[in-house]
Amino acid sequence: MKTLSTALFSVLAAMAISSVTLADPASTDAMAKHDKKGYFAHIDTNGDGVITKDEATTAALKRFEKMDANGDGQVTKEEAKAAHKKYKDEKRSCKDKKAK
């Protein structure tokens, strides 16, 4: 359990430092909604103005699952890079659609 907590904390810290979030690759509408709401509001699922440990853990696990392309319960550097590239490409695509 301590290893899981440490891993989740590391993931959350990395996300907070880089402010990179991974949106659902299948939905650019979800990305736009996430950008409007902001990162904090996206994690604060009940909208009470605070992020609980459960909300933070849920958000981190969702990101982890999106990065774990082969579903083996581990994220390699390659999977993390691919997920980041996919996010950037979709964000760019969403911005292009808005510009039109």
In the chain, the number of structural domains is 1
CA dihedral 89, 91, 61, 14 (to 10 degrees): 90
Contact 16, 8 (CB under 8 A): no
pLDDT value of residue 72: 97
Cβ neighbours, 10 Å, residue 35: 15
> Domain span at residue 47?
2-99
| pLDDT at residue 23, rounded to an integer | 43
Amino acid, single-letter form, for residue 11: V
Return all residues near 57 (Cβ < 8 A) that are at least 6 apart.
Answer: 8
- Top mean pLDDT of 5-14, 17-26, 87-96 is at 87-96
Percent of the chain past pLDDT 70, that is, above it, reads 62
Q: Which of 15, 29, 18 is nearest to 60 (CA)?
A: 15
What pTM value is reported for the model? 0.56
